[in-house]
Amino acid sequence: EDQVTQSPEALRLQEGESSSLNCSYTVSGLRGLFWYRQDPGKGPEFLFTLYSAGEEKEKERLKATLTKKESFLHITAPKPEDSATYLCAVQSGANSKLTFGKGITLSVRP
Amino acid sequence: NAGVTQTPKFQVLKTGQSMTLQCAQDMNHEYMSWYRQDPGMGLRLIHYSVGAGITDQGEVPNGYNVSRSTTEDFPLRLLSAAPSQTSVYFCASKKGDSHGELFFGEGSRLTVL
């Protein structure tokens, strides 16, 4: 059974204070690891897909990296508008379905 | 394109009542799914479908039924609502069995009294 653990549960940063969010996973044959952003009262919005260890993807102040056991979402010089819940999910083996972690709630203070 | 459309956005039910949450997508996606999201639990898969006429159970299927008669629609039925089904429900779709991203609807908030 696929498992995804995200840490910390919540993170409070000052504007401009860089940090990283962690996603640890256990799967049998990773097909893809996904990062989503979710704003309050909205559905999750896709950010990145990573397929193999060593891969990196960037978008504005966000950079996602992948190893064989975990993924990091690095946030460089965050702004208040980066405040949201960040979800990690994995797809494995022959399955189409995604297994999600519980999410990390990020608050960035001005 | 509207993407993934869910209705209703809010619903209050009494224990034992039945209802259907509607989900429609206009992206010609083969794969559709229903998740529920509860505080501290994350998104949990209820049912999913890899194409018209094909459905399968996810992690928490009890108390819910689905059908997939067309590519576009994937309704979720609660036959006899229970307070434990109070949650926010999300419908999501993607292309076939690809690695493609999952597109989510805006969610349906259900309260069962």
pLDDT tens per residue across span B60-96: 999 999 999 999 999 999 999 999 999 999 999 998 7
pLDDT higher than threshold 80 for residue A95? no
* B48, B96, B101: residue with CB nearest A49: B101
What percent of chain A lies above the pLDDT cut of 90?
85
H or E element that contains A23: strand A19-26
**What's the rounded mean pLDDT across residues B95-107?**
82
Question: Which residue on chain B is closest to A48 by alpha carbon?
Answer: B101
Measure B104 CA to nearest chain A CA, in Å: 6
CA A92 to chain centre: 17
Which residues of chain B lie closer than 8 angstroms to A98, CB-CB? Answer: 45, 102
Measured CA distances, B52 to A33, A58, A71, B68 (Å): 26, 36, 34, 5
pLDDT higher than threshold 90 for residue A76? yes
Confidence bin at A80 (pLDDT 50/70/90): very high
Q: How far apart are CA B25 and CA B81, in angstroms?
A: 25
Q: Write down the mean pLDDT value for chain A.
A: 94
Question: In this structure, are residues B54 and B96 in contact, taking their beta carbons and an 8 Å threshold?
Answer: no
Residue A24, classified by CB atoms within 10 Å of its CB into exposed (0-12), middle (13-18) or buried (19+), is: middle
Query: Which residue of A39, A98, A99, A104 is the best one to mutate when testing the B interface, meaning the one whose CB has the most B CBs within 10 A?
Result: A98
Q: How far apart are CA B113 and CA B111, in angstroms?
A: 6
User: Among A43-47, B38-42, B50-54, whose mean pLDDT is lowest?
Assistant: B38-42
pLDDT higher than threshold 80 for residue A57? yes
Chain A residues near any Cβ of chain B (below 8 Å): 31-32, 34, 41-46, 49, 51, 87, 89, 91, 96-103
